[in-house]
A and B are shown apart, each in its own frame.
Chain A
Amino acid sequence: MRKANLTAVSCAILAMGAVALAADSHKSATFTIASGGVINIENPNGSVTLHSANGRQLSVNSTAYSDKIEVDSSATPDGKRVEVLTHALPDQKPTGEELKADYDISVPSGVSVVVTTTTASITVDSVSGDLSLSSDTGQITVRDADNAQLHIRSVTGPVSLVNLNRLHAEIMSTGGNVQLVRVSGPKVKVSSTSGNIGYQGDFAGGGAYSLVTHSGAINVLLAETASVDLSAHSVHGSVENDFPLSEKRHQVYVPTQGRSLVGTAHSGSSSVELRSFNGKIRVKKQ
């Protein structure tokens, strides 16, 4: 009897292991994608990680965590477009965790990337070019890129941009906090409703920077070398500054003490606009 029980238990353990292995489905695919091509990625739940690839080979490694879903990747015959998406298998209605899949994708240079998730996080490392990233609640992180065109949309997921140069970016987040560290470029625009916006760096490059929020706070930690033409205005919130600014000779409006601030530092190369409705705006010296 004891031996039979042991056998039964062993079989049960093996069966569970088999089920676990069957539920985790790994796939790999490689595509040669044309310069200027597009990769379109849709993964509701889990994670999407992108990093740079050598050559023109785009490689997709995915893990699906339930047997109700499948990750499909395909390319058009001309190699200009690759699609990777998680979808439900026929007659299956996966929900929540059953939709989870992780993607790890190597992206060649010069390829445009479009990523759409629901709760899946999006992480992009050292990928330049056109990036369009959209998630309802997943965290979005973009690091170490040069000369990127970046469009980010988030409902409540946090957004983090680190070490990005020559950036052309538009970031919209309703409730997620947006953090920018050492980010510079000809145009950087961040808009939030209730999310806080943090900037740490020097607003370099003679660009136009705009940070706008309704009720979130705007916190700017400004490097001493920053050359900015700065204006900050809050309708009902306060504006605090301890960064040395020179008064502007010609102003569009007369700043109201404690509610708005206008000034320049060094040669005022970059235009920086900080606006809030009732969030606090703080500018501090780094």
Chain B
Amino acid sequence: MNCKQFQEVLPYIIETGGNPEEEEHLRSCQACSDLVNELQYIAEQAKLLLPMHDPHPRVWSNVEQSLQREGLIREGRTPRLGHLAVITEAAPRRAWTPLGLGMATAAVLALAMVLVNFPARQPGVLQGSKGVSAAVQQPATQFEGEDKALLGEISQHRPEVSSAYQDSLGQINSYIADAQKAVDADPADANAHALLMDAYDQKAMLYEMGTVRSLD
């Protein structure tokens, strides 16, 4: 075995050890031995890097304000509309490109976090909330916003699976709505929470599969 051959397999054996031929080369070749020592030394030193930095105090302020708005801590609530506007701002939208669909996944999950703990109780406040009320009030029935855009992309690039995606998206939205209702009914129900997270994982998967192929 020569150095080139040894170094080709090195990534896969450096932690677990190699076969006798590879071990023999390591023993007999000073250059490769030095290389392995150095790489292992770097790895060892990295383990000793302690967490060194504290975040700016504004980070906690923002967290605290959000928790208050979502009603997760017992210091009063702000109108849901204002909070949801913040959430959608946190998932910024660019001009529509295929890659923008990937961000919809993050927005879906961000919305999930809101819906887990803050049930819709004030329909009047929601009227006129652009792009948000439909997702909040009718996840199971209508395709709006990001869902509609995803289906549009799929029907354009892969029409043969368009109906499969449409059916699946409808089913997943129903899943999310059902799980959300269960969480609303009993916020301490861990099983309901787990199902809601699973529902959002399903949605994220669908977006990822729909988006990746739309880039063909």
**Distance in Å from the Cβ of B202 to the closest Cβ of chain A?**
5
Q: Is A206 an interface residue (CB 8 A)?
A: no
Q: Is A134 an interface residue (CB 8 A)?
A: yes
Contact B201 A215 (CB under 8 A): no
Q: Which of B8, B164, B178, B199 contacts A155 (CB 8 A)?
A: B164
**Distance in Å from the Cβ of A139 to the closest Cβ of chain B?**
13
Q: Is B161 an interface residue (CB 8 A)?
A: yes
What separation, in Å, do the CA atoms of A192 and B202 have in the docked complex?
8
Identify which of residues 147-184 in chain B touch chain A, using a CB-to-CB cut-off of 8 Å.
Answer: 158-161, 164-165, 167-168, 171-172, 174-175, 178-179, 182
Q: Is A221 an interface residue (CB 8 A)?
A: no
Contact A78 B8 (CB under 8 A): yes
Q: Which of A110, A155, A233 contacts B209 (CB 8 A)?
A: A155
Contact A277 B175 (CB under 8 A): yes
**Distance in Å from the Cβ of A253 to the closest Cβ of chain B?**
8
Identify which of residues 176-216 in chain B touch chain A, using a CB-to-CB cut-off of 8 Å.
Answer: 178-179, 182, 190-192, 194-195, 198-199, 201-202, 205-206, 208-209, 212-213
Q: Which of B160, B164, B192 contacts A156 (CB 8 A)?
A: B164
| A97 to B, closest residue via Cβ | B160
Which B residues touch A238, using CB under 8 A?
A: none
What separation, in Å, do the CA atoms of A34 and B159 have in the docked complex?
38
Given contacts A191-B201, A214-B171, A214-B195, contact A36 B209 (CB under 8 A): no
Contact B11 A96 (CB under 8 A): no
Identify which of residues 232-275 in chain A touch chain B, using a CB-to-CB cut-off of 8 Å.
Answer: 233, 235, 252-253, 275
Interface of A is mostly: loop
Count of inter-chain pairs, beta carbons less than 8 A: 100
Given contacts A153-B209, A156-B167, A174-B206, contact A193 B172 (CB under 8 A): yes
| B158 to A, closest residue via Cβ | A118
What separation, in Å, do the CA atoms of A275 and B201 have in the docked complex?
15
Q: Which of B11, B165, B201 contacts A136 (CB 8 A)?
A: B165
| A85 to B, closest residue via Cβ | B216
What separation, in Å, do the CA atoms of A215 and B194 have in the docked complex?
15
Contact A275 B175 (CB under 8 A): no
Given contacts A36-B12, A155-B168, A215-B171, contact A96 B195 (CB under 8 A): no
What separation, in Å, do the CA atoms of A200 and B164 have in the docked complex?
28
Contact A235 B8 (CB under 8 A): no
Could you list 29 examples of A-B contacts with CB < 8 Å? A34-B8, A34-B9, A35-B9, A36-B12, A78-B8, A96-B160, A110-B12, A134-B209, A136-B158, A137-B161, A155-B161, A155-B164, A155-B165, A172-B201, A174-B168, A175-B168, A192-B202, A193-B172, A193-B175, A212-B195, A214-B175, A214-B195, A215-B174, A235-B182, A235-B191, A252-B190, A277-B175, A277-B178, A277-B195
